[in-house]
Amino acid sequence: MHTTKVKRILAIDDDGLVRKSLELFLKEAGYEPIVAESGEEALRILSGRHFDLLVTDIRMPGMDGLQVIQAVREYCRQMKKNPIPEIVLTAYNDERVKESVERLGVRNFILKPFRADEFLRILERSLNPC
Ligand SMILES: [Mg+2]
């Protein structure tokens, strides 16, 4: 028997309304979302669990999204796990933010408020590269 495993997504945003809508949207789309309100919380959740995708806000108190991405990559390296694909969520069409995210090698961006069809397309592409 062949079963398809539901993809687990770690979604981080300091805005409670965005977290709620991410959670509903991702569930509705057939994924298993786990939401975190900060990078610090996300790193606690990450330890010992498998995630298929990371979706993170950039501007947050405490660790920002860039720091979260670097910390998650470092965690995967230390744990000898495969790197987790990354999507950045940002409300700001800010070229400087975009540049620093791209410098980290992240190519998947979603501007908030997100459009469902665009978000799904980027999710699918990130989960199934090529
Ligand atoms: Mg924010």
For residue 57, the Cα-to-chain-centroid distance in whole angstroms is 8
What are the sequence ranges of the domains in the chain?
8-127
127 Cα: distance to centroid of ligand 1 (angstroms): 24
At residue 5, the pLDDT reads 86
Mean pLDDT of all residues in the chain?
Answer: 92
Query: Rounded to the nearest whole angstrom, what is the distance from the C-alpha of residue 64 to the centroid of ligand 1?
Result: 9
What spacing in Å lies between the alpha carbon of 42 and ligand 1's midpoint? 14
pLDDT value for 95: 79
What average pLDDT score do residues 122-126 get?
Answer: 94
Contact 41, 67 (CB under 8 A): no
DSSP label at 4? Answer: P
Protein residues within 5 Å, CB atom, of ion ligand 1: 14, 57, 59-60
CATH entry, 8-127, from 3.40.50.2300, 3.65.10.10, 2.40.110.10, 1.10.150.20: 3.40.50.2300
> 106 pLDDT band (50/70/90 cuts)?
very high
The pLDDT of residue 2 is 56
State in Å: Cα 88 to ligand 1 middle: 11
Q: Per-residue pLDDT tens for 14-34?
A: 999 999 999 999 999 999 999
